[in-house]
Amino acid sequence: MMKLKVTLFVVFTAVSLGIVVPYANAEERIKVCAEYKNTGKSYHVTANLMRGSELNQKTGSWNYSSFSTYAVIFWAQGQASVIELDWPQISVFGTDGSDQNGYRWELSKNSSGLCW
Domain spans in the chain, listed from the N-terminal domain onward: 22-109
The rounded distance, in Å, linking the Cα atoms of 75 and 72 is: 10
- What local confidence, expressed as pLDDT, does residue 112 receive? 80
DSSP character string of the chain: -HHHHHHHHHHHHHHHTTSEEPPPSS-EEEEEEEEETTTTEEEEEEEEEEEHHHHHHHHTS--S-TTSEEEEEEEETTEEEEEEESSS-EETT-EEEE-TTS-EEEEEE--SS---
Q: What is the mean pLDDT of each run of 10 residues along the chain (116 residues)?
A: 40 46 67 96 96 95 96 94 95 94 95 78
**Which pLDDT score is estimated for 109?**
93
Question: How many CB atoms lie under 10 A from the CB of residue 43?
Answer: 14
